[in-house]
Chain A
């Protein structure tokens, strides 16, 4: 199968000029936002539900003014008795990077500079899962390559997450459904979490993220794929905007070989539970005791 490149050509900037009316609405939104945040809890995590909705309405207006299109910022809460888990079949993955780009589009990742939440590593079958011999920049004419296998790595959604522990402002935390999220309005961009993450899963916006006009996915969640500012950290959220509505993450849907499995770890009859109980399963860097909810397995 043909694989996608590790990085694309730089995309055109998609900024539209700001009209007077847009400016007025941005100014009004800023003023309202200031009043809203000037009193009471400021972190999205501890905002009461009604206040949170108001804040998200502000965000919607701000994004709409900036992008010239309607953007929804959902506050879909976690479902009761759900703990999300992920499993990836290493014997099936062919390293085509379809998941990488589906993720970019779904989660509104910056196209220029390019940012990826999923990194596919090419490894040698002889050496097994060994990061010292991993190549993220493989570019043969066709994948899979003889003697190689592929390990896609994104946020492992650790139960004992080093990133959450190190954050000095409490801008990142684990939700009740097990998704580790970031408050992009509270993150100061110190990058302690990036130093702490053993999986290179956290990515920093080194410049203003840019998404060409018309390519923004307007269905967003406040803890997930809403547009991010420059200077904050972001990462995979299991597509929180989709999975909390009962859908699969974009990478699961796009995978052409069905290597990606997703489900509720608390549901005894789920596919993910079947895999964990019946297949040969491993987690990355088990010795670090991060307790990932992202499992790798060999189905065949």
Chain B
């Protein structure tokens, strides 16, 4: 009974927090809602007419949606990588922001699932993937595995985050026996979701561009660049707009880790390019399509070199201590990392994998307006979820949003993570 009352107060208080804000907050929410509205309208048209409204066709049967899905799995995985220094080395400055990373992971997984939903041809049959009603083709189907690990990862992060926050709301310390094992579990799971997602492509012998054992490590390397890039921006915004304190040390440390990840990412790409170009087999075709184009088909070439340039720029900005400590160059580095990895893992991974197709046809794919609108809508849903969760989580962390009638009042604001 006490629990029910307290939970009701928690829900009510959360709603109040979410519904109050300044003009900037409401402008942001309105912007997201507008994008969602446009996305829903575009998706409704797509459901009515079929995926013909996208630019995907038989030769390029996955496109923008699945590219975004892949990228966001990386973001979800990388958000939790912050947990490693925080818990393994017990490094205080990062430990305090772990919860933000976990909220980002939850939002990213929500977006991943939406991207899969908008991509499938029969969305009403999604329950076919859910046993016992459906049938999950385990162990052989990698997509079946992926749906298992992504859901498990979502549950683990959601449980950890809500438990910590709710306990803080109740002015109690979180349950160590629950949180520590789950947090430790989320580290291998973070690596796991991205590895399984890489295997989705990696295991297809029909597509030589993906059928390379370097794919999973390279996925992880690029994810450990792009995930923290978003987090760094979010942390600075939080620091600016709330009383949330984030030490410079934490931000600099993350930027430094990103430099190493970016080095690894560039190195692995270089290794792959060497193997393809030096051995010069018929499998070179796909890499050539990405970096050089094939004959008059050069649609992706500018994207390829833009991604390389952005990734190189990000590496140098983060490896130089002076540059990563300067707010301007730090944020430029984040932007470069985010866009570089986004290009390379969206269009750069999916499209050359399909071009030329298995029978040698070159189909020039570029996302349609429907795809762009639906994708923007999905991103807006993710950002909305993230914003609303932060809206509640930050005041709780700051000790501003707590249960008045709670027992067990401690002297100081309870630790968050």
Residue positions of A touching B, CB distance < 8 A: 42-43, 113, 119, 121, 131-134, 136, 153, 162, 165-171, 186-192, 194-200, 203-208, 229-233, 288-289
Contact = CB atoms under 8 A, between A and B. Distances in A.
Contacts, number: 141
21 contacts: A42-B133, A43-B135, A166-B140, A167-B141, A168-B143, A169-B135, A169-B144, A188-B129, A190-B116, A190-B121, A191-B119, A192-B142, A195-B201, A196-B206, A200-B361, A204-B61, A204-B121, A206-B51, A207-B51, A230-B121, A233-B121
A25 to B, nearest CB: 22
A292 to B, nearest CB: 13
Interface in B109-143: 116, 119-122, 125-126, 128-129, 133-137, 140-143
A166 B50 contact: no
B65 to A, nearest CB: 11
Contacts of A233: 121
Interface of B: 49-52, 54, 56-59, 61-62, 116, 119-122, 125-126, 128-129, 133-137, 140-144, 147, 200-201, 203-207, 282, 285, 353-354, 356-361
Given A199-B359, A200-B359, A206-B51, A162 B135 contact: no
B143 A166 contact: yes
A237 B147 CA distance: 29
Given A132-B282, A189-B122, A200-B59, A169 B358 contact: no
B62 A191 contact: yes
A188 B121 contact: yes
Contacts of A203: 58
Contacts of B56: 206
Closest 6 CB pairs of A and B: A189-B121, A231-B121, A198-B206, A131-B360, A207-B52, A168-B143
* Highest count of chain B CB atoms <10 Å: which of A171, A197, A204: A204
A200 B357 contact: yes
Nearest to B133: A42
A170 B125 contact: no
A55 to B, nearest CB: 16
B137 A205 contact: no
A132 B356 contact: yes
Contacts of A198: 205-206, 358
Given A169-B134, A189-B125, A195-B207, 16 more contacts: A42-B133, A121-B359, A131-B356, A131-B358, A136-B359, A166-B143, A167-B137, A168-B129, A168-B141, A169-B137, A170-B135, A186-B125, A186-B135, A190-B121, A190-B143, A195-B62
